[in-house]
Structure 1
Amino acid sequence: MSAHWRPMGPADLPTVERIAEIVHPGYPESPEVPAERLALFPAGCLIARDGNGSVLGYAVSHPGTLGRPPALDSLLGGLPPDADCLYLHDVALLPEARGLGLGESLVDILRDLAGRRGLPALALTAVNRSAPYWRRRGFAVHPGDAALAVKLASYGDDAAYMVITLDRSVHSA
């Protein structure tokens, strides 16, 4: 079965909320969170679909500041003017999406998006013991400070802030 990512639109938000309740029951966020991210940075919000058009998941990303992820279930209020990374706020894939290569293709899409926006890194907060998955895709745990530790606490004990630095030469033509 083939699967791909497409841009998210406002009509997708109820589906995003439904999938979040299935995939991330321990990390609840109000519906306003993905809606705000979509309004602030639509280029970073994607829907995963299979070849039949069925929705398999979603991804929400936005420009951010390294080492300063938003706390769980918090609104941004705006994008940081000094953004130095593309932050993958949330990715949720239904069980039937496993093994379809959507994680790998998402990282490729986000690398390209960050490069086109002049952002030198991708960042995310790994939860649910997913750090090894992200490590295999090139991310490394980012050493943090006390402020980062406070933010990570809202995501649970196993949360790890991870970063991948992008090769700037790929996008500098």
Structure 2
Amino acid sequence: MSQSDLPAISRIQRECYSEAILESVDSFSAKLSTSPHFCFSAVQGQLVVGYVVSLPWVFGEIPELDGSEYSVPPNADGLYIHDMAVTPSARDLGAAKHMLNAVLDTASQRGYKRIFLVAIQGASSYWMRHGLEVVPAGASLKRDLSAYGREAVYMARSEN
């Protein structure tokens, strides 16, 4: 993914998510600048049809939604998949699988064995098919999850 993809990322985000959880271009730019090795876009022809944004992070915590500054914590012990979305018209093309594989391969190459994320809008079943499980959230994490909507759940998997 590059900074020039950000307008398309914003477009895809609006196609896929409710207004309450949309993030600014500046927030995506900050995440990309912080963690460029873990951010990928899917392109069909000349059109960006999907993206994934990930950051090394600390298990049990989540980065601020729509923040303007991010830095990788020095004690990052896994990879947090912050967002993955594919336009509805391109969902049958395998873009999500390719982007997820790119993220998982890069995480493995860089020594991150734990993957975690916040599943929103009923996406937990998708993530379960990829080996993630719901993780019980303590009070602090529940507060942070509330920014992602009622259905948000924290999920994780560990590589062997």
User: How high is the TM-score relative to the length of structure 2?
Assistant: 0.93
Give yes or no for contact 1:49–1:55 (8 Å, CA) kept in 2. yes
1:46 corresponding residue in structure 2 = 40
Q: Distance in 2 between matches of 1:45 and 1:11?
A: 13
- Give, in whole Å, the separation in 2 of the partners of 1:76 and 1:163: 24
**Cα RMSD after superposing both structures:** 1.4
Distance 1:146 1:60 in 2: 26
1:23–1:92 contact (8 Å) kept in structure 2: yes
In structure 2, the residue corresponding to 1:46 is in which secondary structure? strand
Letter in 1 for 2:135: H
- Correspondent of 1:18 among 3, 7, 11: 11
Counterparts of 2:145 and 2:97, CA distance in 1: 24
Kept in 2: contact 1:70–1:76 (CA 8 A): no
CA distance in 2, matches of 1:122, 1:47: 19
Give how far 1:58 is off.
Answer: 1.0
Alpha-carbon separation, structure 1, partners of 2:10 and 2:101: 25
Look up the match of 1:164.
157
2:25 aligned partner: 31
Q: Is the 8 A contact 1:48 1:57 kept in 2?
A: yes
Q: 1:100-119 to 2 correspondence within 5 Å?
A: 100-119=93-112
Alpha-carbon distance between aligned partners in 2 of 1:81 and 1:11, rounded to the nearest angstrom: 29
Q: Give SS of 2:148's match.
A: coil
Following superposition, the deviation at residue 129 of structure 1 comes to 0.4
Task: Within 5 Å, give how 1:1-173 maps onto structure 2.
Answer: 8-26=1-19, 27-50=21-44, 52-167=45-160
More helix by share: 2
Deviates more, 1:18-27 or 1:8-17: 18-27
Query: 2: CA distance between counterparts of 1:82 and 1:58?
Result: 26
Aligned residue pairs: how many? 159
**Helix, strand or coil: the match of 2:32?**
helix
Q: Is the 8 A contact 1:111 1:166 kept in 2?
A: no
State the secondary structure of the residue aligned to 2:52.
strand
Moved over 4 A (4+): none
- Tell me the percent identity: 35
Specify every segment of 5 or more residues in structure 1 that has no aligned partner in the other structure, as ranges.
1-7, 168-173
- How far apart are 1:22 and its partner, in Å? 1.8
Contact 2:50 2:96 in 1 (8 A): no
Distance 1:163 1:102 in 2: 21
Cα distance in 2 for residues equivalent to 1:154 and 1:62? 18
